[in-house]
Structure 1
Amino acid sequence: MMGNAWWNLTLRFLLELSALLGLGMAGWSYPAGYGRWVLAIALPLAAAVSWGTFAVLNDPSRSGRAPVPVPGAVRLVLELVVLFGGAAGFYLAGHAAAGIVMALLIALSYAFSWDRLGWLLRQ
């Protein structure tokens, strides 16, 4: 698994789940009405579908399968948009501390993933 420690893989998984929650909370913070329901469901669903669909072929941090193969740089941008989008979602939903802590944890996770970042950018 390209040298990623168990704690970083666990952190990454928790950040992925937190991103979906943050995106849902951002949608729910939309003014009352049907729009908030649509956004609260659509934002995390779109993120989860994109996360599972667009992948780098033979990515050792995943199953290796890629329903829609993309270059590593595209995958990295997708990851950053989803993860930091979730952090921004917490912030925008009125949970600024959670959003800031999440953003710092995302940076920490990637700081300990230089090998994976290099691999992604070479693909």
Structure 2
Amino acid sequence: MGNGWNLTLRFLLELAALLGLGMAGWTFSSGWERWVLGLALPLIAAVLWGSFAVLDDPSRSGRAPVPVPGAVRLALELVILFGGAAGFYAAGYATTGVVVALLIAISYAFSLDRLGWLLRQ
């Protein structure tokens, strides 16, 4: 369900999303809240990403701690990934945000078989 380069890109985009969410949390708060949001936003996203999955998803282990329909999983992925890109943009790293968003679109464009599978689940 994916080329090796695209799986690598997808993994890097997941990490970038967590960083972007953390940067947004850090940028838009101050004091001790800065630490809380800077750490909590990526942690919450990672927990959601790892917990809500489609049973037998070939791009994952096949396990789903919290089974969800494919459309729900796709929406979760898009919110987290593009949320991270928006986090970079909003934190003052506009070019990085735009590049990450473009790379997300490219990755999904090369994952049409997976998108179709998700939407059929």
**Shorter-normalised TM range:** over 0.9
Q: Which residue is equivalent to 1:25?
A: 23
Give the number of equivalent residue pairs.
121
Other-structure match for 2:109: 111
Moved segments of 4+, more than 6 Å = none
Residues in 1 aligned to 2:28 and 2:77: alpha-carbon distance in whole angstroms: 24
**Partner amino acid, structure 2, of 1:118:** G
Is 76-85 or 28-37 further displaced after alignment?
28-37
Q: Which runs of 5+ in 1 are unaligned?
A: none
Residue 62 of structure 2 aligns to a residue whose secondary structure is coil
Report % sequence identity: 79
CA distance in 2 between counterparts of 1:105 and 1:10 reads: 12
The question of whether the paired residues in 1 share the 8 Å contact of 2:29 and 2:37 is answered with: no
Q: Residue 63 of structure 1: SS of its match in structure 2? A: coil
- Residues 34-49 of structure 1: matches in 2 within 5 Å? 34-49=32-47
CA RMSD of superposed structures (Å): 0.6
Long gaps (5+) in structure 2: none
TM-score by length of 1: 0.97
